[in-house]
Chain A
Amino acid sequence: AQSVTQPDIHITVSEGASLELRCNYSYGATPYLFWYVQSPGQGLQLLLKYFSGDTLVQGIKGFEAEFKRSQSSFNLRKPSVHWSDAAEYFCAVGARGNAGKSTFGDGTTLTVKP
């Protein structure tokens, strides 16, 4: 069975600082990997996805993530955080043949200090 771990429940960074949110997954084959963002009172919005090919994927809002098979990780990064990035971030893993069902991590809440 697939699983996702987001080790950091809450992260605080200063505006303009760099950001890295950690995600570790467990799955026997090549996974489908996603990062979603959830603003207060809203549903989840896709930031980026990895299916195959280039292990560094670019997403919306200046985010990127790198798939590292050897570390079973898919960490999300942004070089310079903006106050509007404050939200909750979810990593998710999907399995081939699982018709779209994804397993979500418990989320990381990002606070941005002025």
Chain B
Amino acid sequence: IAGITQAPTSQILAAGRRMTLRCTQDMRHNAMYWYRQDLGLGLRLIHYSNTAGTTGKGEVPDGYSVSRANTDDFPLTLASAVPSQTSVYFCASSDSVAEENQPQHFGDGTRLSIL
């Protein structure tokens, strides 16, 4: 079934550790996104990528990094996790190019707890 796969589905992590959340899509979408979802704050964009080889900062990029080596993969890395990064992380993709704005397809999320 075509879509977005996120891994792991959940993780408990000690503060200060490095963690990479994986995201893979098989729809050949050019744009990909990482959001965090926190109670009462909705969805906040962390980083995005309009096409392979390019990335951009979203609303809350600090403490996170991304890379886009190819079309399908868009990993999110926490270099040194802190408790405030406890959240549910969603990866999304869309078939959007410069002037268009297509809807986004979402993965099922990664539930991350930083202790």
Contact = CB atoms under 8 A, between A and B. Distances in A.
Interface string B1-42: 000100000000000000000000000000101010000111
A48 B95 CA distance: 16
Contacts, number: 66
A95 interface: yes
Interface residues of A, number: 25
A43 B106 contact: yes
Interface in A77-114: 90, 94-102, 104-107
B53 interface: no
Given A44-B106, A95-B101, A101 B40 contact: no
- Give the contact-size bracket for chain B: 20 to 34
B33 A101 contact: yes
Interface string B36-57: 0000111101001010000000
Interface string B82-105: 000000001010101111111111
A101 B45 contact: yes
B42 A100 contact: no
B99 A42 contact: no
A36 to B, nearest CB: 8
B42 A99 contact: no
A106 B101 contact: no
B90 A94 contact: no
Interface of A: 32, 34, 36, 41-46, 49, 51, 90, 94-102, 104-107
Interface of B: 4, 31, 33, 35, 40-43, 45, 48, 50, 58, 90, 92, 94, 96-109
